[in-house]
Amino acid sequence: MAFTIRPGELGDAAGIALVHVQSWKSTYRGIVPDTYLAALEIESRAEMWKGQLLSGDSLIFVAEDESGVVGFAAAGSLRESVDDYDAELYAIYLLDTRQRQGAGRMLVHALAVGLRARGFKSFLVWVLEQNPSVSFYKSLGGVQVAQKSVEIGGVYLPEIACGWSSIDQLVL
């Protein structure tokens, strides 16, 4: 399957939101409360992503194929201090039918190149411990560097941070 990876544009907000909501509903079923997942709305997520795309505060890339946006990733400055890390992968999601085809690796690579160009040196991602994607981050060389608990839908869930002490590990 051929994917194009490119910077996200304002017109991508609805596609990003669709991927975001569908991915949460497929990935987090059985992990996050059903009531929380059922309440996710594409329209409100589209507005959120429009704001993110307009702000320029983060790098946002989309993966697309002939059908349109099938994945996206967003990253920027670390939101909470963890050791000497300075950049964070805020979100990366692909439609479940497009996973395990290389688009995720391509998105991470694009973000790493962009972050390095902005002067960032290291990188981490917070991920729910039960998320099957933990193995994806480890396959890219990420190692667990922190853990915490996060509240989602009234339930506290364990979350781990996978980190790369050098962003260059993801650029090469």
* Domain 4-171 CATH class label: alpha beta
Which of the residues in the chain have pLDDT under 70? 1, 172
- Residue 153 pLDDT: 93
Domain-by-domain residue ranges, the chain?
Answer: 4-171
- Residue 107 pLDDT: 95
- Residue 172 pLDDT: 64
Does this model's pTM top 0.85? yes
- Residue 1 pLDDT: 61
Residue 57: name the closest of 79, 81, 76 by CA: 76
